[in-house]
């Protein structure tokens, strides 16, 4: 693997297709879960820079632990708080607040580190700029070393890999695949107090469609359509109750409007998942990437109840990151 920005980076010459490549990566991650230090020598003498332009708990720490399990040193730089304000626009006249151009900073980071991992968020104001993935693409263009996305303007691939690892664990242990031909996996919009990025929902849809293991349904209020680039292949409905019927997994997430970019039209609390709604499902496991606004996005009764697997899901972030870092180190 040369970089990890989207699901498409998972494809290897030896895998027959994307679904098989994803399955191989899942198996690698689950093997690391059983034996975290199996490849302790792989990263010896290697150094990774984790560059944050936005806050993080899970992504930052799980990637650091994953690097350590592979014997690789990880150095964290909160560039938004501790670094010079970076300029990303080509040809910018830097007479404003930005101090250092990415074309000067990124090659230096490439000298210090064997690989770079970057977290950026979208502005949710400039759709064209966000969709062009300007920030992470400028790092890729100028760093000269492999780049891993720790969430970018439109995608969160490490989260999505974690999510399908977690689903696969349940499919294996609970033998859901014996009960039904295909598990039903539902991505449902949930209320929130402010407009949020589309990254987690986009990526989850992109990975689910590429993986092809389940019947995949997306439900959201009218006007909350995601970019078809990510959702194509999924069944989409405005009727949440209908979507939840017989679901085996429910992925809960808020996102802002995409067409009229970055807005929050409504915050209908009826869309929050409750035990009453859970009763419509096939005793579904409930997932969320976290952090979550309790009793806005997800109810206490769900989060503290037996169907929530959010902690196990977040724990699996380590194994997803370790599998990806291992693939990149092996390719170097």
The one among 28, 58, 184, 220 contacting ligand CP by CB under 6 A: 58
Tell me the closest approach of the beta carbon of residue 179 to ligand CP, in angstroms. 30
C-beta closer to ligand CP: residue 39 or 189: 189
Phi-psi region at 119: left, alpha or beta (left = phi > 0; alpha = psi -120 to 50) = beta
* Residue 289 touching ligand CP (CB under 6 A): yes
Strand pairing class (86-87; 147-149): unpaired
Phi-psi region at 46: left, alpha or beta (left = phi > 0; alpha = psi -120 to 50) = beta
Tell me the closest approach of the beta carbon of residue 197 to ligand CP, in angstroms. 11
Stretch that binds ligand CP, among 1-9, 65-73, 93-101, 288-296 (CB under 6 A): 288-296
**Which of 20-48 are b and which e, b meaning 16 or more Cβ less than 10 Å from the residue's Cβ?**
ebbbbbbebbbbbbeebeebeebbeebeb
CA separation for the pair 309, 271 (Å, rounded): 20
CA separation for the pair 142, 151 (Å, rounded): 19
Return the CA Rg of the chain.
20
Q: What are phi and psi of 62, to 5 degrees?
A: -65, -35
C-beta closer to ligand CP: residue 59 or 154: 59
C-beta closer to ligand CP: residue 158 or 213: 158
Tell me the closest approach of the beta carbon of residue 92 to ligand CP, in angstroms. 29
C-beta closer to ligand CP: residue 39 or 151: 151
What are the residue ranges of helices labelled H in the chain? 18-34, 58-69, 79-82, 102-112, 127-131, 134-143, 157-173, 176-179, 199-211, 228-231, 240-244, 275-278, 300-303, 310-315, 317-331
Stretch that binds ligand CP, among 54-62, 105-113, 165-173, 234-242 (CB under 6 A): 54-62
* Residue 56 touching ligand CP (CB under 6 A): yes
The one among 6, 59, 219, 256 contacting ligand CP by CB under 6 A: 59
The one among 12, 37, 41, 57 contacting ligand CP by CB under 6 A: 57
**How many residues interact with ligand CP (rule CB under 6 A)?**
10
The one among 280, 290, 293, 315 contacting ligand CP by CB under 6 A: 290
Tell me the closest approach of the beta carbon of residue 203 to ligand CP, in angstroms. 11
Tell me the closest approach of the beta carbon of residue 247 to ligand CP, in angstroms. 22
The interface mask with ligand CP, positions 183-202, x = CB under 6 A, is: --------------------
CA separation for the pair 223, 243 (Å, rounded): 17
C-beta closer to ligand CP: residue 131 or 290: 290
Tell me the closest approach of the beta carbon of residue 154 to ligand CP, in angstroms. 14
1 class by beta-carbon count within 10 Å (0-12 exposed, 13-18 middle, 19+ buried) = buried
* Residue 5 touching ligand CP (CB under 6 A): no
CA separation for the pair 57, 290 (Å, rounded): 9
* Residue 159 touching ligand CP (CB under 6 A): yes
Tell me the closest approach of the beta carbon of residue 315 to ligand CP, in angstroms. 12
Tell me the closest approach of the beta carbon of residue 311 to ligand CP, in angstroms. 12
* Residue 152 touching ligand CP (CB under 6 A): no
Q: Which residues contact 48 (CB under 8 A, 6 or more apart)?
A: 67, 72, 73, 74, 75, 113, 114, 115, 116, 117, 325
Residues binding ligand CP (CB under 6 A): 56-60, 151, 159, 289-291
């Amino acid at each position: 693997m040369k970089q990890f920005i989207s699901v498409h980076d998972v494809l290897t010459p030896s895998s027959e297709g994307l679904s098989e490549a994803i399955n191989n990566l899942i198996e690698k991650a689950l093997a690391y879960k059983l034996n975290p230090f199996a490849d302790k020598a792989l990263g010896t003498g290697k150094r990774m820079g984790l560059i944050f332009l936005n806050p993080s708990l899970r992504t930052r720490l799980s990637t650091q632990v994953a690097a350590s399990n592979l014997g690789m040193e990880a150095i964290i730089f909160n560039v938004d708080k501790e670094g010079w304000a970076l300029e990303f626009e080509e040809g910018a006249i830097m007479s404003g607040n930005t101090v250092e151009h990415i074309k000067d900073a990124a090659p230096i980071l490439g000298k210090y580190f064997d690989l770079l991992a970057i977290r950026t968020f979208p502005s949710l104001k400039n759709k064209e700029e966000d969709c062009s993935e300007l920030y992470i693409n400028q790092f890729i263009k100028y760093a000269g070393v492999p780049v891993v996305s720790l969430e970018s303007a439109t995608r969160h691939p490490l989260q999505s890999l974690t999510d399908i690892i977690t689903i696969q664990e349940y499919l294996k242990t609970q033998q859901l695949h014996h009960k039904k031909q295909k598990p039903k996996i539902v991505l449902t919009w949930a209320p929130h107090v402010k407009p949020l990025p589309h990254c987690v929902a986009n990526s989850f849809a992109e990975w689910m469609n590429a993986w092809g293991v389940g019947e995949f349904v997306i439900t959201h209020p009218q006007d909350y359509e995601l970019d078809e680039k990510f959702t194509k292949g999924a069944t989409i409905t405005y009727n949440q109750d209908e979507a939840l019927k017989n679901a085996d997994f429910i992925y809960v997430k808020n996102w802002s409007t995409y067409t009229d970019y970055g807005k929050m039209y409504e915050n209908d609390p009826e869309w929050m998942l409750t035990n009453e709604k859970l009763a419509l499902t096939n005793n579904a496991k409930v997932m969320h990437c976290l952090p979550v606004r309790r009793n806005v996005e997800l109810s206490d009764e769900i989060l503290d109840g037996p169907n929530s697997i959010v902690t196990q899901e977040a724990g699996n972030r380590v194994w997803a990151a370790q599998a990806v870092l291992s693939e990149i180190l092996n390719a170097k």
